Structure 1
Amino acid sequence: MGFKTRWRRTASAAVGILFVALLSVLPAQPAAAATGQISGLAGKCVDVAAAGTANGTAVQLYDCNGTAAQQWNVGSDGTVRALGKCLDVSGGSTADGALIQLWDCNGTGAQRWSVSAARDIVNPHANKCLDVTGNTSANGTRLQLWTCSGAAHQKWTAPAAGGPGTPSGFVVTEAQFNQMFPGRNPFYTYSGLVTALGAYPAFAGTGSDTVKRQEAAAFLANVNHETGGLVHIVEQNTANYPNYCNWSMPYGCPAGQAAYYGRGPIQLSWNFNYKAAGDALGLDLLNNPWLVQNDANIAWRTGLWYWNTQSGPGTMTPHNAMVNGAGFGQTIRSINGSLECDGRNPAQVQSRVDAYQRFTGILGVPPGANLYC
């Protein structure tokens, strides 16, 4: 964020990164899941060979038969489970041809899957698709990981209710969110974002379906840039931390000179922004700015607060820029225009534009005009 937010952090090496560690153990069954067969090529089903439960048991294509070996639990946490274990890429490989197997659930990228609207089952860690080896429908054909091609042997019909790809009321499904942020920090949960949306119903809820999706893509593209792909919770340049206290404000900096550094999806910074955001959200962020880095829902709410209510160095809020047709470039101006727009830092602007174009592609809408500032 620029102007009344912070003097821009640099993209220097990560110093003092405050990460939430990746979860190493998943619950026995994910919440909000659907169970059923996953069918694909020639109408055959994803099957656990001989209904085995040993780690490394082959996952294959087989005639659909309704047995437990073909009952897959597609969870909103990105796992796909059968017989109490997870669909897994052998060895955690990201290479074409890596075989698919059953393995103890462990929370690694090798066990994360996203069902797209186009019926691809994608492993975001590898950015590759679940594929039938050799494009053959013979019983026992192994499933593998392969570069997504859109071919028939990569198309699947999976249980939808509650699982990846299921609309939550937000125009971005969880599957699409995971596709946008394959390496995100677990702190930035989809559920935290969806819950936070309740405070700003106009966000991604105004205008045509195209405009709604464009606004969601625009918000998430700027978030992507600010956080390095939803990786960083706090500003990485710790040398900047003491710079965000404006002592001319009557309330001062009660949390300390260096307490108001960038946090959350839009990297909220400066004591006056913490005061204003806290007042709007009913939270004492001035005295406890650490809430933004410790609570995912609060973090998302501060980002949406800025997007929907603040103009920053621009002339309009980012929300208004998207719903009134001013274009994506004006969202950049409102967030960090004083340091990036009008030729000041074209590489940073391009980073935001690239993400926006990628995200509108995922959502199936054109990016519109006026992409640059």
Structure 2
Amino acid sequence: MSLFTNRYILLITTIILLSVLATLPTVNSQSTVNWQAGVNYGLGQVVKYSNGNCYKVVNVGSNGSDGTDPTVSTWYWSQVTCPSSGTGCSDIAVNWQAGINYGLGQVVKYSNGLYYKVVNVGTNGSDGTDPTVSTWYWSQVTDCSGGGNPGTGWIVSETTFNQIFPNRNSFYTYAGLVAALSAYPAFTNTGTSTTKLQEAAAFLANVYHETGGLVYIREINQANWNSYCQPAGTCGGLQYYGRGPLQLSWNYNYNSCGNALGINLLANPDLVATDSSVSWKTAIWYWNTQKGATAYTPHDAMVTLHAFGETIRAINGGLECNGAAGSPQMQQRVQYYTTICGILGVPTGGSLTC
């Protein structure tokens, strides 16, 4: 066979291969979650399998993907390509259909050409509601990157952050949070992409609970402001009441946190309520170093155990854990976590309560 013939065959083969690849829909890698056995994924959800390939749910049974394997159950799943960038909603959305009950976090394309995401659910997901009418269930979106935002260096984008905290106090800036990340580089940056997003969801859920959705900067109960001094009467008139995203309290915590961050918080406790970056750093410090009533820091609880309940125990376990059915406060934290996981497009994992 001549050299010309060999080159011609190679060219034709390459063209055919490229044509086949072009037929696979392109999906933003930031919108994917790592596939886990036994999880029931919703219509349109994209997962990354252990073989490195991505698959999208194209048909559902009685419980979403019915816990099926993307490499086996081709009726439920279709392979899609996994590029390294892109934020297009068209990559992950399904066309909206009247009467369908969509799951939390699902993005749909409406007949008007706009995209909508399920942000709250009722008895049966979106309860067959219309995205242009039922604004409690649905929120219009233009950024479908879900979790990651490589441009800022954090796994949760600013758009998603604002979606989670629509009524936040302007003090709690996204820029301040991003600036604080360098204090503990392992925070939301350890393990698989699913683990990272679950840790971010757990952190934000606890923050939501402690601050009323990032509304409150200082502890609401001012009657307690002089109570957080040990030994009593040794704080020289300074007050160490709860401040910031995780409501840092007590003089000894201000001292330990300040020493770790290189900031004299013992002498200047109100920095936690006046400097956004410092405020976020105190929350990240507690998350990564303090164990409270458990054997794990919140960071380790999510990375090692994948157990949201242990983060509650580390933060306020003495008051909220160990009850027969769990305290209402604990249940509320779990609800926040479940909702935020839905927004980020990841499963909650196990051991949600304490």
Same fold (TM over 0.5): yes
Residue 247 of structure 1, aligned match among 231, 235, 240: 231
Is 1:356 aligned to residue 337 of structure 2? yes
Alignment of 1:1-373 (within 5 A): 135=111, 146-147=133-134, 166-167=149-150, 168-247=152-231, 252-256=234-238, 259-343=239-323, 346-373=327-354
Distance 1:276 1:131, change over 3 A: same
State the shift of 1:169 in Å. Answer: 2.0
Distance 1:278 1:149, change over 3 A: closer
3-state SS of 2:181 partner: helix
Give, in whole Å, the separation in 1 of the partners of 2:285 and 2:173. 18
Give, in whole Å, the separation in 1 of the partners of 2:132 and 2:174. 25
Give, in whole Å, the separation in 2 of the partners of 1:288 and 1:155. 41
Give, in whole Å, the separation in 1 of the partners of 2:153 and 2:232. 43
3-state SS of 1:210 partner: helix
Matched residue type, 1:367: T
- TM-score under structure 2 length normalisation: 0.60
Give, in whole Å, the separation in 2 of the partners of 1:336 and 1:136. 47
Distance 1:349 1:236, change over 3 A: same
State the shift of 1:145 in Å. Answer: 6.0
Give, in whole Å, the separation in 1 of the partners of 2:228 and 2:136. 48
State the shift of 1:146 in Å. Answer: 4.1
Give, in whole Å, the separation in 1 of the partners of 2:254 and 2:137. 46
**Per-residue CA distance 1:308-338 (angstroms, 9 max, x = gap):** 0111122110000001015000000000000
State the shift of 1:302 in Å. Answer: 0.2
Structure 2 unpaired stretches of 5+: 1-87, 95-106, 114-130
Give, in whole Å, the separation in 2 of the partners of 1:254 and 1:216. 37
Matched residue type, 2:231: W
Distance 1:245 1:184, change over 3 A: same
**Identity of counterpart residues, as a percentage?**
52
Distance 1:244 1:364, change over 3 A: same
State the shift of 1:298 in Å. Answer: 0.4
Distance 1:214 1:157, change over 3 A: closer
State the shift of 1:347 in Å. Answer: 0.3
Distance 1:323 1:285, change over 3 A: same
Q: Residue 119 of structure 1 contacts residue 157 of structure 1 at CA under 8 Å; is this kept in 2?
A: no
Give, in whole Å, the separation in 2 of the partners of 1:304 and 1:172. 15
- TM-score under structure 1 length normalisation: 0.57
**Per-residue CA distance 1:26-66 (angstroms, 9 max, x = gap):** xxxxxxxxxxxxxxxxxxxxxxxxxxxxxxxxxxxxxxxxx
Which residue does the alignment assign to 1:65?
A: none
Question: Larger RCO: Structure 1 or Structure 2 (Cα < 8 Å, ≥ 6 residues apart)?
Answer: 1
3-state SS of 1:244 partner: coil
Q: Residue 119 of structure 1 contacts residue 156 of structure 1 at CA under 8 Å; is this kept in 2?
A: no
Which of the pair is proportionally richer in strand?
1
Structure 1 unpaired stretches of 5+: 1-114, 121-128, 138-143
Q: Residue 217 of structure 2 contacts residue 245 of structure 2 at CA under 8 Å; is this kept in 1?
A: yes
Give, in whole Å, the separation in 2 of the partners of 1:205 and 1:157. 22
**Per-residue CA distance 1:148-189 (angstroms, 9 max, x = gap):** 6999xx67589x9xxx98442211111111111111111111
State the shift of 1:240 in Å. Answer: 1.1
| Bigger Rg, structure 1 or 2 | 2
**CA RMSD, Structure 1 to Structure 2 (Å):** 3.4
Q: Residue 131 of structure 1 contacts residue 146 of structure 1 at CA under 8 Å; is this kept in 2?
A: no
Give, in whole Å, the separation in 1 of the partners of 2:261 and 2:240. 17
State the shift of 1:300 in Å. Answer: 0.1
